[in-house]
């Protein structure tokens, strides 16, 4: 059994955001820092939002199994937002460019220009949540891949502002090049104010623990 930990620090200079997830675009003038660890990678993403439509920042990512890393610039663009009286939906385009460095014999310790792009969609109200995202990554001779992830969730009760909120979720990860292309992870999300935790175990027996702080 393996344990994976996600820690996300969400910094917004113009105020706090209280949503069920950290958004790729913040408030105008807002900074966001995300440090993430999952089954495949360690990553750090720091970005600034000049407006509520896009953010730009630094992204680094380390792929453990193939022992290579990426350093570059990522641009997140809010292509469309649907605001309803009791729900919200978002459509983002996330792209980046930089340098991939292979640190293994298989990659000959080489550097390659790297590009990635993908989309992210989410919809939520106070009871239900769903999201989807994908990434196409081209790092030349070091690696090339396509991954996608989807989530569905339900809140067993509706809390008021300041209460402890609970979500029951199911996450599906798909990576055609992985040894196990499809991974399903039931998880429980609990958040209050600026603190959020997620705990789950996938059908391969790997434990996931995510911790998010917004400040």
pLDDT band at 76 (very low <50, low <70, confident <90, very high): very high
pLDDT of residue 13: 34
Give the DSSP per-residue string, 22-39: --SS-STTEEEEEEEE-S
pLDDT at 10: 41
Return the sign of the alpha-carbon dihedral for residues 54, 120, 160, 34. Answer: negative
Give the pLDDT score at 18. Answer: 38
Query: pLDDT tens-digit profile of 21-63?
Result: 557 887 788 878 777 777 777 888 888 999 999 999 999 999 8
Tell me: pLDDT of 154 over 70: yes
Band (pLDDT 50/70/90 cuts) for residue 205 is confident
Q: How confident is the model at residue 150 (pLDDT cuts 50, 70, 90)?
A: very high
Which candidate, 7, 58, 72, places its Cα nearest to that of 212?
7
Residue that wins the pLDDT comparison between 68 and 103: 68
Spell out the domain ranges in the chain.
3-214
Q: Which CATH number fits domain 3-214: 2.40.160, 2.40.30, 3.30.450, 3.30.1490?
A: 2.40.160
Residue 105: count of CB within 10 angstroms of its CB:
8
| Residue, of 79 and 178, whose pLDDT is higher | 79
pLDDT of res. 108: 60
pLDDT tens profile 85-135: 999 999 999 999 999 998 765 556 789 999 999 999 999 999 999 999 999
Q: No. of H helices and E strands in the chain?
A: 0, 13
Determine the Cα–Cα distance for residues 104 and 133; give it in Å rounded to an integer.
29
pLDDT value, residue 86: 92
**Confidence grade of residue 213 (pLDDT, cut at 50, 70, 90):** low
Other residues' Cβ atoms within 10 Å of the Cβ of residue 48: 15
Predicted local confidence at residue 21, as pLDDT: 53
In the predicted structure, residue 188 carries a pLDDT above the cut 90: yes
pLDDT at 80 over 80: yes
């Amino acid at each position: 059994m393996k344990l994976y930990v996600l820690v996300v620090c969400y910094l917004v200079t113009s105020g706090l955001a209280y949503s069920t997830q950290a958004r790729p675009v913040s408030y105008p003038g807002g900074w966001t820092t995300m440090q993430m660890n999952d089954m495949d990678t360690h990553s750090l993403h720091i970005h600034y939002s000049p407006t509520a439509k896009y953010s730009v920042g630094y992204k680094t990512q380390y792929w453990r199994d193939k022992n290579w890393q990426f350093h570059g610039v990522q641009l997140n663009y809010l292509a469309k937002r649907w605001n309803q009286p009791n729900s919200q939906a978002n459509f983002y385009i996330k792209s980046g460019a930089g340098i991939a460095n292979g640190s293994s014999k298989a990659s000959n310790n080489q550097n390659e220009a790297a590009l990635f792009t993908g989309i992210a969609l989410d919809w939520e109200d106070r009871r239900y949540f769903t999201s989807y995202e994908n990434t196409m990554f081209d790092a030349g001779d070091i690696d090339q891949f396509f991954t996608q992830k989807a989530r569905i969730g339900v809140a067993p009760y509706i809390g008021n502002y300041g209460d402890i909120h609970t979500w029951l979720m199911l996450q599906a990860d798909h990576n055609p090049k992985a040894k196990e292309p499809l991974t399903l992870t039931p998880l429980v999300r609990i958040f209050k104010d600026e603190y959020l935790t997620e705990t789950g175990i996938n059908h391969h027996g790997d434990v996931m623990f995510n911790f998010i702080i917004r400040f």
